[in-house]
Amino acid sequence: MKKDVLITEVALRDGSHAVSHQFTINQVETIVEHLDKANVPYIEVAHGDGLGGSSLQYGRSKVDEMKLIEAAVAKSHNSKIATLLLPGIGTKKHLQQARELGVHMARVATHVTEADVSAQHINLAKEMDMETVGFLMMAHMVPTTKLVEQAKLMESYGADIVYVVDSAGALLPHQVKERIKALKEELGVEIGFHGHNNLSVAMGNTIEAIHAGASRIDGSIRCLGAGAGNTQTEVLIGVLEKLGISTGVDMYKIMDVAEYQVAPLLPKPQEITKDSLAMGYAGVYSSFLLHARRAAEKYNVDTRDILVKLGELKAVGGQEDMIVDIAQEMAKNENPMHI
């Protein structure tokens, strides 16, 4: 049966941010095994910042991501394993290694104005016969015309699918509809949507995206993801069934994965806190949240002030080092030294 929408489950990549990149092989095996039984089409596995992300700047992984990918591939029979690569963090060698381990889908992610840096990685993925996604992050930061321009670049490099990625959870439903509709009209490839729930509109945004023509959708089981998390997969499956939209995912089984496998792993329930709300309001990259909280605690400043300042500076993924600089400067201004 043809599926109206194909779901990519991102908890084992985006959710890595929420657990400080501490996933174990056993956890990945268990979750993938159950997602596979629930007929989830794609399961993304990587460090939160993609292949090669384990570092002092982005956070060290407990287990090498390639070992996690290998474990995921071994447990997937119906599902296909996907991974994420940000050029400049991940390399072509990382992508080649992931392909050798059995990864089927490459999701090549750039800032929404930097699609040109994805060319070599998209080309390589196609050469290796991978299903290839162009992933345009922080999509709220540019007008729709610019988004279309950048999406066309990814399409020209060979991307099979191009995603509108609301990395900050800052878009509202009408803005998502406008962007997806424009890409659907201007591109010849499938269109996808990846949402974050910092303003509590991830589900509404996702439904608008589907109605506007998106056929590839990201979800995170139990909302496990950066910031306030992503569109909640098991809830999304229920909503889509009520709308008569086919995904092929078994609703009871995906609910059970959420309840019995993923929920016990959460350090605390994913919810919209004052900090994640500030992040969506300011339009800040969702993975900045834990970094900002740590800096705020260390320098005794308000996390929200850091996030708002990052928004004013239009900080993007890869500029995590700015967070400490901002916190230091705020602390100095609040407690100036008297000589």
CA distances from 149 to 36, 143, 145, 157 (A): 36, 10, 6, 13
pLDDT digit string, tens, across residues 6-65: 999 999 999 999 999 999 999 999 999 999 999 999 999 999 999 999 987 788 999 999
Does 338 qualify as catalytic in the annotation?
Answer: no
pLDDT of residue 222: 96
pLDDT at 336 over 80: no
pLDDT digit string, tens, across residues 217-245: 999 999 999 999 999 999 999 999 999 99
pLDDT of residue 316: 76
pLDDT band, residue 337 (cuts 50/70/90): very low
Domain residue spans of the chain = 6-264, 274-334
- Looking at domain 274-334, its CATH architecture is Orthogonal Bundle (1.10)
pLDDT band, residue 338 (cuts 50/70/90): very low
User: Is there a contact between 53 and 46 (Cβ–Cβ < 8 Å)?
Assistant: yes
pLDDT of residue 285: 82
pLDDT at 208 over 50: yes
Say which residue the tokens 């506007």 belong to: 212
Annotated binding-site residues for Mn(2+) read: 14, 194, 196
pLDDT at 300 over 50: yes
Separation CA 210–CA 201 (nearest Å) = 14
CB atoms under 10 Å from CB of 333, counted, come to 9
Separation CA 106–CA 95 (nearest Å) = 8
pLDDT at 158 over 50: yes
Look over the chain and give the mean of its residue pLDDT values, rounded to a whole number: 93
pLDDT band, residue 209 (cuts 50/70/90): very high
Annotated binding-site residues for substrate read: 13-14, 167, 194, 285
Helix axes 144-157, 119-127, angle to 10 degrees: 40
Active-site choice (17, 47, 94, 121): 17
CATH, domain range 6-264: 3.20.20.70
Same fold, 6-264 and 274-334: no
The 3 state secondary structure assigned to 44-94 is ECCCCCCCCCCECCCECCCCCHHHHHHHHHHHCCCCEEEEEECECCECHHH
Is the overall model pTM greater than 0.85, yes or no? yes
pLDDT of residue 335: 61
Annotated binding-site residues read: 13-14, 167, 194, 196, 285
pLDDT band, residue 313 (cuts 50/70/90): confident
pLDDT of residue 2: 60
pLDDT digit string, tens, across residues 253-270: 999 999 999 999 888 888
